[in-house]
Amino acid sequence: MPINLAISFAFVVAAYLIGSISFAVVVSKAMNLPDPQSYGSGNPGATNVLRTGNKTAAALTLLGDALKGFFAVWAALHFQASLNLADWTVPAVAFAVFLGHILPVFHRFKGGKGVATVAGILLALHWPLALGLIVVWLIFAVGFKISSLAALIAALCMLAGMFYFFGNTLVSWTMVVIALLLIWRHKSNIERLLKGKEGKIEGKTR
């Protein structure tokens, strides 16, 4: 049975469009909250939404951004054999859904940093690794109360985990590219960390 390139590409395009749904914006509009790009760090992500003091909105943003990453990759994995998708489909879908999050076509290409979406991608690829990295994130987030620092450390640990579990494969190298982009998206956070001026995780009380 020949490889179905058309459907493989369709999965990749669909993944990008799914990734382009910014749940920070969607949830904020639905709950009559300010545009997340208009306050705090300006980043449309769960940590910034938490600055409104609405923990439910922040949780829904986190869940939505993670689920879109999980669903896109899970679908590619689930249908790869039955639809005879190309071998590169799963890593391409993982990259596309992440790219959609950081450069969303539905939101003028102004997206988030991708931490929750990467967590969702990893849950679909290898859930024990994902859970281990979530624990790493929680340890540093709770210990230092700095979300960006926790994300950067988890991203570095992810690279070691990917090559340990998947070896020298396309999916591992795809996650290297994703990790580098995630770190690049945190460049302003890194500058503030080096200056000791990075903001801490906190939400207003309501």
The domains of the chain are located at 5-195
Q: Which amino acid is at 80?
A: Q
Tell me the CA end-to-end span of the chain in Å, nearest whole number. Answer: 59
**pLDDT tens track of the chain, all 206 residues?**
578 899 999 999 999 999 999 999 999 999 998 988 888 777 888 888 988 888 999 999 999 999 999 999 999 999 999 999 999 999 999 999 999 999 999 988 989 999 999 999 999 999 999 999 999 999 998 888 888 899 999 999 999 999 999 999 999 999 999 999 999 999 988 998 888 887 777 644 33
Nearest to 121 by CA among 133, 103, 105: 133
**Phi, psi at residue 94, to the nearest 5°?**
-60, -45
The structure's pTM equals: 0.91
Cα maximum dimension of the chain: 59
